[in-house]
A and B are shown apart, each in its own frame.
Chain A
């Protein structure tokens, strides 16, 4: 398996523009997580899905952020409109619950810069 795939790897946009980040989890995994990482706030869980259903979105900072998982192999995180304070590295991770919670496999991340 190629691991968790994220695109784009880098995104530079201007304030007010819509940004869409994409993630393909590892095949067979039933959990998908979106994280945001900054120096100031560390690694923050934004939202996670179980079997394509959003379970906890309490980490989503505000209504400008939305996430979807239309099928088991694809998820998006959208920011509309984007603001400079959204600049961060966004990680997607997936895991397989199986017999209990286990390792989360992280994608390479998307480095977002909002000017």
Chain B
């Protein structure tokens, strides 16, 4: 089955700096890679996703890159703000939602 690793487990950055979170996956059949944000005491919510037919996707201050050959994908947050502080989860799945596996999460703290 799929195995998703995520690094770092914790990350602290100064407000305005960039943050990068990296994930690797094991199943070459995976072709859907979402990122979820979970604020303290709340539910996970999708912030961005990417499919295997593209290498990069951007949405305002967040971007995701995918390297299918190396089986890794990354989340980039620019101009971080205190409200970006949360736990971020990457995940991987095939196109049918099978083998949908979350990474262990990264706790991001943005220091004012």
Q: Do A and B bind each other?
A: yes
Q: Is B81 an interface residue (CB 8 A)?
A: no
Docked pose: A108 CA to B105 CA in angstroms: 19
Contact A42 B94 (CB under 8 A): no
Q: Chain B: interface secondary structure?
A: loop
Contact B97 A43 (CB under 8 A): no
For chains A and B in complex, what number of residue pairs have CB atoms within 8 angstroms? 50
The residues of B that contact A31 with a CB separation of less than 8 Å are 97
Stretch at the interface among A14-22, A67-75, A98-106: A98-106
- For chain B, the bracket of interface size reads 20 to 34
Pairs A-B, 10 closest by C-beta atoms:
A106-B43, A101-B97, A103-B46, A42-B104, A43-B102, A100-B95, A101-B32, A106-B44, A101-B93, A101-B95
Binding site for A on B (CB under 8 A): 1, 32, 34, 42-46, 49, 51, 89, 93-98, 100-105
